[in-house]
Structure 1
Amino acid sequence: MPTKTIISTEKAPSAIGPYSQAVKVDNTVYISGQIPLNPETMQVEDMAFEAQAVQVFENMKAITEEAGGSMADIVKLTILLSDLANFAQVNEVMMRYFSEPYPARAAYAVKALPKDVDIEVEAIMVVG
């Protein structure tokens, strides 16, 4: 039977519903969707899209590290955007956090996201 471990860190926002920040099963880590909440205040500090994207990836980075990995261990990202006009800016921000070989990725425009933010990102990571 696979080993299931809950990953939790104070360096990323606590879950705002009945879910975990991440769940590790064997060497695969499933990271819940991250929105641009400051983990200390649980608020969105800056509504500019670039700042939101940076906060999302900083939150994700903290979770990857707590799970014993890094952003380089992410194999799949799903990006949800309130507006596909922000797609190019997502790519620019991603270049700060990822280098080749890049993870697989899907990006979708959605009608709305929690707390009226403009971006949410979930990931799958493989460690060890």
Structure 2
Amino acid sequence: MAHRIINPPDWAPAKGYANGVLTEDGLLFTGGQIGWTDRQEFEAHEFVGQMAQALKNIRTIVETAGGTVADITRMTWYITDKKEYLSRQREVGAAYREIFGRHFPAMAVVVVSGLIEDEALVEIEATAVIRR
């Protein structure tokens, strides 16, 4: 089965991974997205800001592949601080709805001891089904 690497055109190149892989049958798998910008720079240094940027990154990958956030079927979140995530649920929900609207795919949240990028507080990966 053929697949296509998805990398938004204005983004810095991914090194050692793909930002997205779109299969011939319309399955899109995103690489784990962290809270850095298209230039691979952190503008936010707190959880909600990084989470919002990671979601925007996912949205951009999905749109580059020809889909919309409504095509996202699954997300896995990796977070480094359970207490901060739980204490900021209202802000998390507001930021999520601002970016993804009221689309809620299947999700899991996993607490991890750290992420590869030391400054990253959250990493989110997603799967979408794009049939256009």
TM-score, normalising length: structure 2: 0.85
Alignment of structure 1 residues 18-37 onto 2, 5 Å:
18-25=16-23, 26-37=25-36
Residue 121, structure 1, aligned to residue 124, structure 2: yes
1:76 partnered with 2:74: yes
Q: Retained in 2: the 8 A contact 1:81–1:108?
A: yes
Give the count of matched residue pairs: 125
Alignment pair present for 1:49 and 2:52: no
Task: State the percentage of identical aligned residues.
Answer: 29
For residues 12 and 51 of structure 2, the distance between their equivalents in structure 1, rounded to whole angstroms, comes to: 14
1:39-94 superposed Cα distances (whole Å, 9 cap, x missing partner): 13x21112021111111111111101100001111000000000112142434422
Rounded to whole Å, the distance in 2 between the matches of 1:107 and 1:39 is 24
Q: Which moved more, 1:113-122 or 1:3-12?
A: 3-12
Quote the residue 1:93 is aligned against. Answer: 95
Q: TM-score, normalised by structure 1?
A: 0.87
- Equivalents in 1 of 2:28, 2:99: separation in Å? 18
Q: Report the Cα offset of residue 100 of structure 1.
A: 4.5
Corresponding residue SS for 2:18: coil
RMSD: 1.7
Indicate which of 55, 61, 64 corresponds to 1:63.
61
Structure 1: tracts of 5 or more residues without a match:
none
* Secondary structure of residue in 2 paired with 1:50: helix
Closer, same or farther: CA 39–100 of 1 in aligned 2, 3 Å: closer
The C-alpha deviation readout for 1:6-54, integer Å capped at 9, x for no partner, is 11114455324x11111111210000000111113x2111202111111
Which residue is equivalent to 1:3?
2
